Structure 1
Amino acid sequence: MAADDPAIDGPLTGLVVVDLSTTLPGAQATQFLADCGAEVIMVEPPDGSPLRDLPGWPALLRGKRSVTLDLHLDADLDRLRALLRRADVMVNTLRPASAERLGLSPELLSERYPQLVVANITGWGSTGPWRNYKGWEALVMAKTGVMHEKRGLTLRPGPAYISTPYASWGAAHAAVQGVLAALIERDSSGLGQIVESNLVTGMGSMDPYNWFYELVLERYPGAFEPMDAVYDDQGRPQAYLIYALLVAPTKDGRWLQFAQVSPRLIHAWLEELDLLGELADPKWHGFPMLPTPELRMEWWDMMLERVGARTLAEWEQAMAVNHDLSGELFRTPDEALDHPQIVHDGRAVTVDDPDLGPVRQPTTLIHSDRKPLTTIRPAPRLGEHNTSVNFDESRPEIAPRTDPPVAAPLTGVTVLEFGSMYAGPYGATLLTDLGARVIKVEPLAGDNIRNLVAFPEAGGAKVLQGKESVAIDFTKPEGLELVYELAKRSDLVLLCFRGDAAERAGIDEAKLKAANPDLVVLSMSGYGADGPYAHRSAYAPSVGAASGLSVIDSRGAATRPADLDEAHRRAITLHAGSAVPAVQSDGIAALGVASALLVGLYAKRRGITLPHMTTTMLGTALQSVINHNTGYAGRPSIESTDDQFFGLNALYRMYRAADGWVFLAAPLAREWPALAKAMAPYVDLHADERFAGSASQAEHDQALIDALTPVFATKPASEWERELSSQDVGCVEVTERNSEFVLQTDPFFEAGYAVEAHSPIFAEHRRLAPLCRFSRSQTKADAGCTIGQHTDAVLREVGVDDDRIAALRTAEVIGGGS
């Protein structure tokens, strides 16, 4: 299909999106919308969008149309306004002050274009004390504490720079979900509205359980012994999970991430390593909770030795024979596109670009009927559609209601969820904040995530927020019939099962649609419905290894170690690359699930059915790092952190302050004058010819670091943040506490990143705020639930009387309730 033809088959066909994005989260949001069939019109300055400087621009801009406008000229501003008159959606990554200067403030947009849905994606949100801070991802990661949590990446003391854009991905898909929810709401109200997302809450959505772990530690001091790091200061194991999630090199120097988390899998793992017999020795009493660092180190070394006795090919053969073994090769982002499951599912594609030639990249995040949702088209040339885009057309008017509702945008939508742990189910959780009713069908013993933390229900408290729990044993015929009754009254179903497990259980798409033909069904799994890896359990660290996430963050640590000491060091770095709970592939996948569910719902309401709609953890992880894995001849080098994990260069890195660390973010040429002026009382950067211009600064990067290092050491970090931020220089104190704790503290609560909720377990507590804010619609922020808390009430709704409920409970078909 020609690049200038906006027509494309897809569930969002006919949706017109004006894209003013200049940063990664906006580009990823509109890439997703374009992949789903929307007509995305990029508005670029005459010299091109800064996005074209990113290595992955051919994929980030794919399928879009490009028009060039100089928004400093009245005539071009008028052309933009004409575009907005025909648009359904506008996506904008301008800072609030910049938007106001251009006449694109939320108030003016709502007044001029009452049916337009506007998505504003910012670093810090439009309210609160940091609203005018620069929106660089690293500033958010530094101030919220994530760099502290990733400190295992480096051997030196202190926080570590994070290369993977987790916060951008979170903000991007929060915006997508807000846009789709607002469009669904517009069908009833006739009105658009402003949707806001930000990098802070986008990042906060990644963590699966640590929020409540931190809550428990703070609320009950001394009751539990906190384990702040998986390895101690001497690099010795502290957490037993490193045995189940072993990172180890093979005989031929290839690194594997194992994932043997359940009791059955750890038993198979120890048996494969011929270590079961060792446990008969009394010295290993209590395994895997070994009491001393020396014993933990000894066991770790035995496991490393056994893994290192076999080549990669031998381990791959062992895993092919024994399905209870699961290990992933640490791949680069480019290598991830060659993963056997990605090849099997057709989740990588090569697109011919008229200038670049073949461009290899991931296909769409959503697949339908076992193929990509749409055909991937090349990115546009700069200004390619200046003459073909219609600036005079206006969109058809929707008659607004005189009394538009102010409820949550998904009020009246019911989601039926089958799944465990986090990656899939948290996607449904995000829809509860938008007003959807989510009925979670749990086994009688509850979702395994409830017991992931050594405090009752703390492990599952986040993923269960806003849901109704119905405990049903649907392996029994009576339980299965109850499931079908629930399906009849639902709009969406989320299935989180490996391989053909849903079909064997009788809750596959065909059987559910036999009960309710109007259902939208999304299947989500680690790898896919079939193929070479479909039978494998997927955990965040293994998907992080397979997708390239870990290699990106760990600066390519997956190379052959010279000796055992180096193997220890590299294992710690690789573990930090993808197994830190704050930011990892579980959260990435969950955000993709929420977006996919809303695409399915939006399409269904327009008479479009998406059969066998699927997402996978691995496929979604590839989307999140599309800036790294898009391959073509002459691709610019991808910036990498320095070997000490301070940052990318002198103007985007950490510096020691008098009492901690600051992160400086002023990498753009237009930011240099403000930085030089702010630093003038301490060092004359203007006078040094080595720093005159970006090219010279890059050439003398170490000299610039040497000039700034002693200056930052003279003041406390908080003073530097106040002083430089007040002069519009990106600089924050690097917080050295876990982000899940930081976001619950008063400053972040008062800024709106956390909200109050009431839980049957935790009573009044603070939880992460909804990821979107709406100018008209409301959001919800409910707490979690106990196992089967809503069983009786929900069954009564479907016509089951109290006598029958009692009989079902006696027969152990249902649980919970009264």
Structure 2
Amino acid sequence: MAADKETGAPRGAALAGVKVLDLSRVLAGPLAGQVLGDLGADVIKVERPEQGDDTRAWGPPYLKDEEGTDTDVAAYFLCANRNKRSVAIDIARPEGQALVRKLAMRADVVLENFKVGGLAQYGLDAASLMALNPRLVYCSITGFGQDGPYAARAGYDFLIQGMGGLMSVTGAPDGEPGGGPQKVGVALTDVMTGLYAAIAVQAALLERTRSGLGQHIDLALLDVQIAGLANQASNYLAGGVLPRRMGNSHPNIVPYQDFPTADGDMILAIGNDGQFARFCGVAGHPEWATDERFATNPRRVAHRAELIRMMRQATILRGTAEWIAALESAGVPCGPINRIDQVFDDPHVRARGMRIEVPHPEAGVAPLVASPMRLSASPVRYRMPPPALGEHTDQVLAEWLDMDADQLHQLYLNAAI
């Protein structure tokens, strides 16, 4: 355990003692729960008996055991469910609803991503649970939010990428081969929503230390996606410029895109005039840096097509590794376009420990992506692998609710757990 540098006293996990009841499934909500769990919160994942989180069945691929044989653990489920305990409760049954209410009375946080109003029929909505526990931070994640004309609609990442403008700026330009709308290669809106949820929950917990009261957090995938448009939204709102698909080009910076090499491709991410001048020297064309068409970024943006054509004729003459070595030595931001296997084989990625292995009861070990959060005194710890369905039901109900064996047996007989 890390110690305080001044006092030498041991310091625990950042969110140690925080109890989270995670009623969510698929990606955005579970990812938020995983972030909180990584930071030390006790996260209880409530799942449907026998079925569990939808992503448990989203395979192949599946986690392999030590002999290389597929287990029944879908790889998708692994990405957002470590550092949690799984409790199987049927919330369609009155006994199950009562259990969740009791757990919520002892929780600090509830995460859920049911449709708007979907939990009210069970008495598990924000108003009902916060009436029982006024200190509860209740985070609802939906496609379109708790109000507005689309509130009742189901929301999915792909749908929101389209509606939220991301696909209008992603992909090859219209009129070029492969042009047209393109989604991002991961469920990025879900990922961003999970991160915003974790941030909002922690903010609400901090505010609770002053007010003594919890609050309801309303997070919508569409809102998050619009916020995630960043400079593209600002270009439109402030400058009246309607962004369009530009492939790998940047709307505001030139050159900032991919370039062909003798044996593949590379990325140039040139952010200022000095970097451009240094690139020109390495490329053997120092005259480009003083050419009035290219000397400043606004001029390069204005003469984008001309400059990119000239640069491509130069970059194709050397291999990727040769370019990267020369440009890095000159302080010009550049890099390869890696496949995912190359990502995890990169020496820097290995040095940063971004691939981890945690013990797993079915597979021996489960390979996972590490948390990118580096806290010097209260670091992330990988305490538990993604759980089996209902693995901790008895343990959690005994620990949180002081239930004995007879009470648990009755709940099993009633099919509540």
1:763 aligns with 2:371: no
Query: Helix, strand or coil for the counterpart of 2:335?
Result: strand
- The answer as to whether partners of 2:254 and 2:297 remain within 8 angstroms in 1 is no
Deviations 1:508-537 (A, max 9, x none): 123223432321111221112344322222
Please state how far the C-alpha of 1:428 moved relative to its aligned partner: 1.3
Aligned to 1:600: 204
Instruction: Name the aligned partner's letter for residue 312 of structure 2.
Output: T
User: For 2:59, which of 453, 457, 462 is the aligned residue?
Assistant: 453
2:122 matches 1:485: no
What secondary structure is seen at the aligned counterpart in 2 of 1:553? coil
**TM-score w.r.t. structure 1 length?**
0.46
Give distance in 2, aligned partners of 1:806 and 1:465: 28
Superposition RMSD in Å: 3.0
Q: Classify 1:638/1:404 alpha carbon distance in 2 versus 1 (closer, same or farther; 3 Å).
A: farther
Q: How does 1:719-758 map to 2 (within 5 A)?
A: 719-735=322-338, 737=339, 739=340, 741-745=341-345, 747=347, 748-758=349-359
The residue identity in structure 2 corresponding to 1:800 is M
Q: Aligned equivalents of 1:531 and 1:690: distance in 2?
A: 49
- Which residue number in structure 2 is paired with residue 423 of structure 1? 28
Bigger drift between 759-768 and 612-621 goes to 759-768
Structure 1 Cα separation of the partners of residues 244 and 147 of structure 2? 36
The one-letter code sitting in structure 2 at the alignment partner of 1:408 is A
Distance 1:497 1:674, change over 3 A: same
1:423 Cα offset (Å): 1.5
Partner Cα distance (1:679, 1:532) in 2? 55
Q: How many Å separate the matches in 1 of 2:415 and 2:189? A: 36
**CA pair 495-692 structure 1, distance change in 2 beyond 3 A:** closer
- The answer to whether the Cα contact below 8 Å between 1:743 and 1:754 also exists between their aligned partners in 2 is no
Amino acid aligned to 1:452? W
1:641-660 matches, within 5 Å, as 642=246, 645=248, 651-660=255-264
User: 1:692 Cα deviation (Å)?
Assistant: 3.6
What's the CA shift for 1:750?
A: 2.6
Alignment size in residue pairs: 400
Question: What SS does the aligned partner of 2:102 have?
Answer: helix
Matched, 1:621 2:251: no
Q: Which amino acid aligns with 1:655?
A: F
Letter in 2 for 1:673: A
Q: Is the partner of 2:206 in helix, strand or coil?
A: helix
- State whether structure 2 residue 37 is matched by structure 1 residue 432: yes
Does residue 519 in structure 1 map to residue 124 in structure 2? no
Q: Secondary structure at the match of 1:415?
A: strand
Contact residue 470 and residue 791 of structure 1 kept, 8 A: yes
Secondary structure of the residue aligned to 1:774 is: coil
Q: Distance in 2 between matches of 1:630 and 1:539?
A: 25
- C-alpha distance in structure 2 between counterparts of 1:633 and 1:763, whole Å: 53
Identify the match of residue 780 of structure 1 among 355, 374, 381. Answer: 381
Is the Cα contact below 8 Å between 2:87 and 2:389 reproduced in 1?
Answer: yes
2:407 aligns with 804
5+ long unaligned stretches in structure 2:
63-71
- Are 1:743 and 1:749, in contact at CA under 8 Å, matched by a contact in 2? no
Q: Given that residues 475 and 505 in structure 1 are in contact (C-alpha distance below 8 angstroms), is that contact kept between their aligned partners in structure 2? A: yes
Distance in 2, matches of 1:796 and 1:511, equals 24
Q: 2:321 matched to 1:718?
A: yes
Mean CA deviation greater in 633-642 or 702-711: 633-642
CA distance in 2, matches of 1:813, 1:732: 54
1:68-467 residue pairs with structure 2 within 5 A? 402-444=7-49, 445-454=51-60, 455=62, 456-458=72-74, 459-467=76-84
AA partner of residue 13 (structure 2):
A
CA deviation vs aligned residue, 1:416-444 (integer Å, no higher than 9, x gap): 11111111221111111111111011010
Change (3 A) 1:537 1:762: farther
1:777-804 alpha-carbon deviations (Å, 9 max, x no partner)? 1212342111001111111112111232
In structure 2, which of residues 155, 166, 170 is the aligned counterpart of residue 549 of structure 1?
166
Deviation at 1:768, TM superposition (A): 1.8
Residue identity matched to 1:412: G
**3-state DSSP class of the match of 1:577?**
coil
Q: Distance in 2 between matches of 1:541 and 1:762?
A: 32
Alpha-carbon distance, 1:603 to partner: 0.7
Determine the structure 2 residue equivalent to 1:664: 268
Instruction: Sort the Cα spacing of 1:765 and 1:711 in 2 relative to 1 into closer, same or farther, 3 A.
Output: farther
Secondary structure (helix, strand or coil) at the match of 1:606 reads: helix
CA contact (8 A) 1:442 1:470 kept: yes
1:620-653 C-alpha deviation (Å, 9 max, x unpaired)? 11111143334888616366564x6455565212
Deviation string for 1:469-492 (max 9, x for gaps)? 000012212212221221222111
Residue 699 of structure 1 and its aligned partner are, at CA, apart by 4.4
SS at match of 1:773: coil
The equivalent residue for 1:536 is: 153
Cα distance in 2, alignment partners of residues 702 and 626 from structure 1: 25
Output the CA distance in 2 between the equivalents of 1:686 and 1:646.
20
Q: Which runs of 5 or more structure 1 residues have no equivalent in the other structure?
A: 1-188, 194-399
Q: CA deviation at 1:498?
A: 0.7
1:466 & 1:712 partners in 2: Cα distance? 46
- Asked if 1:494 corresponds to 2:99, the answer is no
Output the CA distance in 2 between the equivalents of 1:522 and 1:708.
50
Determine if contact 2:173/2:244 at 8 Å carries over to the other structure.
no
Distance 1:607 1:794, change over 3 A: same
* Partner AA of 2:44 in structure 1: I
CA gap 1:614/1:477 in 2 versus in 1, 3 angstroms:
same
Distance 1:721 1:484, change over 3 A: same
Identity over aligned pairs, percent: 29
Determine if contact 1:429/1:463 at 8 Å carries over to the other structure: yes
Deviation sequence 1:634-679 (CA, Å, 0-9, x none): 616366564x645556521211111110111113123233223333
* CA spacing shift, 1:555–1:496, aligned 2, 3 Å: same
Q: Relative to structure 1, is the Cα distance of residues 791 and 746 closer, same or farther in structure 2, using a 3 angstrom cutoff?
A: farther
Which AA in structure 2 matches 1:522?
C
* Separation in 2, partners of 1:765, 1:448: 20
In structure 2, the CA distance between the partners of 1:534 and 1:608, relative to structure 1 (3 Å rule), is same
Q: Give the letter for the 1:405 counterpart.
A: P
Greater alpha carbon shift after TM alignment, 746-755 vs 480-489: 746-755
CA contact (8 A) 1:665 1:731 kept: yes
Distance change >3 Å, CA 742–CA 764, structure 1 → 2: farther
Structure 1 residues 305-358: Cα deviation after superposition (integer angstroms, max 9, x where no partner): xxxxxxxxxxxxxxxxxxxxxxxxxxxxxxxxxxxxxxxxxxxxxxxxxxxxxx
Separation in 2 of the partners of 1:726 and 1:764? 40
Q: Relative to structure 1, is the Cα distance of residues 697 and 503 closer, same or farther in structure 2, using a 3 angstrom cutoff?
A: closer
When residues 695 and 788 of structure 1 are mapped into structure 2, their CA distance, relative to the original with a 3 A threshold, is closer
Matched to 1:745, the amino acid is D
CA–CA distance in structure 2, aligned partners of residues 746 and 695 of structure 1 = 35
Partners of 2:224 and 2:150 lie apart in 1 by 16
Distance, in Å, in 2 between the alignment partners of 1:783 and 1:633 is: 45
Q: Identify the residue that residue 381 of structure 1 maps to in structure 2.
A: none
Q: Which SS does the other structure have where 1:758 is aligned?
A: strand
